Amino acid sequence: MALELNTKAPEFNWVDEAGINHNSTELSGKWTILYFYPKDNTSGCTKEACDFRDNMERISSYDAQVIGVSPDSLKSHNNFTQKFDLNFQLIPDSDKAICNLYNVMGEKSMYGKKYMGVIRTTYIISPDGIIKSIYNKVKVEGHASKVIEDLLELKK
């Protein structure tokens, strides 16, 4: 089932690097840029993460936060975060439960082989948990800037 604009964002749980359980309701009170990406340390995913990292001061000035989600493990996320000095949280979704909740799994193709994987997708979620923007099949180039522009418009 596709998620729609102006509907409540699905709630989800995760465990952080300290082994502490969290719920997405903890993200409320701020605008949230929730982005889903296929894999740590790949060229497109690295470029996207670094673009959000490099724009974090601007994003924070709009009382917003960035959260990245992929099926990678916590260890992989920790290495990716350290390697590229990322300044936002990455949530591991090894069982793809969050990806399925947000309807970002789909058929992909590489070297002629078809497989199910994460379709690069971003949501802007309001402080009260409502989906305000959806970006499907994201092209990495210029994406962070577009999200920031739209966030500014949404805050007006």
CATH number (domain holding residue 61): 3.40.30.10
Q: What is the mean pLDDT of the chain?
A: 93
Domain that holds residue 56: 13-141
Does any domain span residue 134?
Answer: yes
In a domain, 71, yes or no: yes
Look at residue 116 in the predicted model and tell me its pLDDT.
87
Residue 99 known to be catalytic:
no
**From its phi and psi, is residue 79 left (phi > 0), alpha (psi between -120 and 50) or beta?**
alpha
Is it the case that residue 18 has pLDDT exceeding 80? no
Overall domain count for the chain? 1
Q: What letter represents residue 43's amino acid?
A: S
Q: Which of 45, 64, 104, 124 is catalytic?
A: 45
15-19, 44-48, 80-84, 151-155: least confident range: 15-19
- Identify the pLDDT of residue 87: 95
